[in-house]
Chains A and B, each alone.
Chain A
Amino acid sequence: MLRNRRATARGRRGAVGLIVTGTLVLTACGGTSGGGSGSGSGSGSGETGDGVLTLGLENTLPGWDWRKQITAGHVGLEWRPVYDTLLRTNPDGTVEPNAAEEFSYNEDKTVLTLKLRDGMTFTDGKPVNAEAAKFSLEGFRDGGGVDSGRLRGITVDVVDDMTITLTLPAPNPGLVSQLGASAGQLVSPATLDNPATLDTQPIGSGPYIYNTAESVVGSKFVFDRNPDYWNPDDFAYDKIEFMVMPDETAQLNALASGQIDGAELSLASVQQAESSGSHVETFPNVWSGIYFTDRAGTQIPALADVRVRQAINMVFDRDAIVQAIWNGHGTANASIFGPGTSGYDEDLTDHYEYDVEAAKQLMEDAGYADGFDVTLPEVENYNQEYTAITVQQLAELNIRATPVSIPRQESIPRIVGGEFPMFVYKLPVNPEVEQVTNYVRPQGSFNPLHNEDPALNDLLAQWAVADPDEAGDIYQQINEFLVENAWFAPFGNPDVTWAFNDTVTVSGTIGTTPPLYAFGPME
């Protein structure tokens, strides 16, 4: 059985960001800096708390149909009380048993066998068994939801009443971490019997039951503890309320006046929350910086020259960005692997010193002393501050960058469509397996022009079939390759920040989203 799989994904800070567009699939598990204990649970366990947990969240899930649920952002928290998942993905990237008590791959990592726990039931009384798991997985795969691609090409077979196998077209190290996220949801096969209630009355087997009477669609979700849940000890609260508050002022006011116990805040609001008595937990689980999409130089030949990409890495004063843009709430990092993930290497974080003169020399050596023209997508309320500083710093190298304003809902489709040779964004760093899956692999969705390199392909081939225990070393090698070849020009890791009153805290986030079990009473 596989345990402690180090899946990675990088945390995303999409906070306000990608959210509603529902596009970003990258979800994120996020290693907390201390790393997780691997097995076991989050902070929610231990205490048997009997209180109510009330959180202010910025948006609302798109109805209860499990096929539409996503892992990223606050929506990725909202379905968690109701729908149990086959596996559990932890912020440190490890994956462990959950509703499936055992999981293991065959030798060539193309068949995953999952054995379900005995005795679990859905809230309609039907058993959680192999048929139900097959129904849930196939429905999700074919449901056309934003995350449905996570199961594309996978076939599900029932082996016996409590065992299923997933057959993969090719090894996919990220699959198990997905089964601890939206793709691993379990729903009763009766869910589809009545299309009219599909979006209003979820039938799951999760730790809580949706309280239809007390909830208000689009503004308040209320959940009561599920008395039949197999693992109640990991969830500290008897009742959970999610209040939908798109506006940060509303969240701050509700927190200060005691209406909610906690909310995710932007870095600009941290000080205000602290001054009104809240305590703030921070996690380095997103990264921001420049993504080069045209590393082969098909649109801008200069970008094919590693010296040009290295020079771009050298014109950013990362420590100044931490102070000026993130108000000191973050860490400079020239690599895309975040603290707490196995690929993280502290020596690589300052691989590119801020040195404009040396950068100019590199440009001259490469034959691009006069720079080039490039357009950068600028997304309102999302990457404007990064785009502005990028335009300014690229000008040091005579690179004429022109921001093109695009609506947020178009940003991801256009970026992953390969329209921009480079762009500035912020995305999750955990679980790190997602980083490699989405940004690095030739077929990754954030590698739209399918850049590849023979040396990197060798590493990716090893990565695809590595056992979790050995994967750390491969991630380190991938990280080294990416930094030395300047595949990206990361600025660093702005903190993901959650603020709470003095009774509640959270132990970790995956991207910006804490797992539900991570909420618990203050020690």
Chain B
Amino acid sequence: MLMFIGRKLAAGLVLFIAVTFVTFLLVFSNGEESVRNNLGELATEDQIAQRVNELNLDQPVLVQYVKWLGSLLTGSLGRSFNSGETVTSILATRIPVTLSIIFLALLVTSVLSIAVGVVSAVKGGWVDRSLQFLAGGAAALPSFLVAIALTFLFAIALPIFPATGYVPFGEDPGRWATSLVLPIAALVIHMVANSAQQFRGAMVDALKQDYIRTLRSRGVPERAVVLRHALRNAAAPGLTILSVQTIGLVGGAVLIEQIFALPGVGQFTIRAAIAGDLPSVMGVVVFGTLLVLVVNILADVVNAWINPRVRLS
């Protein structure tokens, strides 16, 4: 198992360097233009040249990248061109927001999609058909529309939840939870619909297997057959879908953060990109790449844990 994790980590490191290097090249190849935007149209050439020099933007991109990577090893992502704050301190306030969204959305999606998938597959009949029909409809709903509808219903018409904004967990866990209900709901409806179909399909396949029939013929209780044996085998394809969706969640979170005015990484990314705030853009890239790597490794590990065949392959 350790070898397995080690291999995944090594591959992840290579991917991390490749992704950050390519983005760095793209982002920093036109550093002077970014300074020009930052300083405005009344800036003189001297001011621009001075700032370019201060920010080391006049050095070869490769040198800049090595320096950036070096300071990353010491835990520094540099300072925002825009606000002068360190990128790590900005991300420190924003990552908890985005991770709250992603983590909760993933949790809710897992629980609901497994529940719906299992019930559909086991019950069959009209229950299955109704759930399938609902899932089909929900999968077609764009999350921004769901967000607008939910806000109108549960924040404006019936003021139960706040329409916008975020309360840090440390400040007030209750209000933290209520501030995330609508954003999470808007995000997961679509995801549950997709994942539940996957789980349902995998469960239906698993329940047709010979070993299930054997288990039943031995008198193993139905509950154990479904939850202990069939679900375990059906989990692998479901998990893969979930991990892919988690990565998709990062994109979904950008949109949801905008609509609900949540001060997360997504909102910050848009602002940094528009403002040409290169160190901040790179900070977000680091966060995004690490998130994807961690999620993929976790999914592989969990998969290997519940299914020994994966470990050996």
Contacts and interface: CB of A to CB of B under 8 A. Distances in A.
B276 A409 contact: yes
Interface in A229-277: 243-247, 249-251, 253-254, 256-259, 276
Contact of B258 (A220, A246, A256): A246
Contacts of A413: 33, 36-37, 41
A391 interface: no
A198 B37 CA distance: 22
A445 B83 CA distance: 25
Given A22-B275, A408-B274, A254 B39 contact: no
A499 interface: no
Contacts of A23: 37, 40-41
Given A149-B42, A198-B84, A200-B85, A276 B47 contact: no
Q: Label chain A's interface by main secondary structure.
A: loop
A24 B40 CA distance: 7
Contact of B165 (A22, A25, A259, A276): A259
Contacts of A416: 41
A144 interface: yes
Interface stretch (A44-52, A58-66, A109-117, A160-168): A58-66
A56 B50 CA distance: 36
B40 A247 contact: no
Contacts of B40: 22-25, 70, 145-147, 149, 412
Interface range on chain B: under 10, 10 to 19, 20 to 34, or 35 or more? 35 or more
Contacts of B258: 246-247, 249-250
A25 B33 CA distance: 18
Interface string A101-125: 0000000000000000000000000
A509 to B, nearest CB: 21
A216 interface: yes
Nearest to B93: A217
A259 B83 CA distance: 27
Nearest to B40: A146
Given A65-B84, A148-B42, A199-B83, A257 B260 contact: no
A253 B164 contact: yes
A192 to B, nearest CB: 13
Interface in B251-274: 258-261, 263, 267-268, 270-271, 274
A82 B259 CA distance: 29
Interface in B187-244: none
Contacts of A250: 163-164, 258-261
A144 B84 contact: no
A106 to B, nearest CB: 26
A410 B32 CA distance: 12
Contacts of B271: 20, 59-60, 246
Contacts of A152: 42
Contact of A144 (B47, B83, B162, B261): B47
Nearest to A409: B37
B261 A247 contact: yes
B311 interface: no
A219 interface: yes
B175 interface: no
Interface in A33-85: 56, 59-60, 62-63, 65, 68, 70
A298 interface: no
Interface stretch (B18-26, B99-107, B131-139, B151-159): B151-159
A144 B45 CA distance: 11
B141 interface: no
B85 A63 contact: yes
Contact of A216 (B155, B156, B263, B267): B263
A148 B51 CA distance: 14
Nearest to B97: A219
Contact of B37 (A22, A148, A216, A246): A22
Nearest to B42: A149
Contact of A62 (B41, B82, B268): B82
A249 B148 contact: yes
B38 interface: yes
A299 interface: no
B149 to A, nearest CB: 11
B94 interface: yes
A220 B261 CA distance: 10
A247 B259 CA distance: 6
The 9 closest A-B pairs by CB, nearest first: A149-B42, A219-B263, A146-B40, A63-B83, A257-B163, A247-B258, A253-B163, A250-B261, A245-B261
Given A218-B267, A276-B156, A416-B41, 10 more contacts: A22-B38, A62-B84, A144-B51, A146-B42, A244-B263, A249-B147, A253-B151, A254-B163, A254-B165, A412-B40
21 contacts: A21-B275, A21-B276, A22-B37, A25-B41, A68-B84, A148-B47, A152-B42, A198-B84, A199-B83, A218-B263, A219-B261, A243-B164, A243-B165, A244-B261, A253-B148, A253-B259, A254-B165, A257-B151, A257-B155, A409-B37, A413-B41
Interface of B: 33-34, 36-44, 47, 50-51, 82-85, 90, 93-94, 144, 147-148, 151-152, 155-156, 159, 162-166, 258-261, 263, 267-268, 270-271, 274-276
